[in-house]
Amino acid sequence: MSTTLSGALIGAILAFALLVFGFWGFLLFALLMGIGALVGRIVSGQLDLRALAGVFTGRRTSS
């Protein structure tokens, strides 16, 4: 699945959520999608939590 198709699919799902659940339901839905994406990246090993925590605490830089 290409990134363009993935983006279009995610946009369609979010638009449907906005129509069905209203604005606050849409925000909750988008927040939960983001959390799910982060969890998926952590589980697959594509996101290192220690490095991310170091960036936010000022111990390391992103460059």
Instruction: Label each residue of 16-42 as H, E or C.
Output: HHHHHHHHHHHHHHHHHHHHHHHHHHH
Query: Is 2's pLDDT higher than 90?
Result: no
Which DSSP state fits 5?
A: H
pLDDT digits (tens, 9 = 90+) for 11-62: 899 999 899 999 998 999 889 888 988 888 888 888 888 888 888 888 765 5
Tell me what pLDDT residue 60 has.
Answer: 62
Question: Does 62 reside within a domain?
Answer: no
Residue 57 to residue 60: CA distance in whole angstroms: 8
Q: pLDDT band for position 63 (50/70/90)?
A: low
Question: Does 12 reside within a domain?
Answer: yes
In terms of Cβ atoms closer than 10 Å to its own Cβ (0-12, 13-18, 19+), residue 4 is exposed
pTM for the full predicted model: 0.67
Tell me what pLDDT residue 62 has.
Answer: 55
| Residue 20: how many other CB atoms lie within 10 Å | 10
Q: Which residues form the domain of 19?
A: 3-57
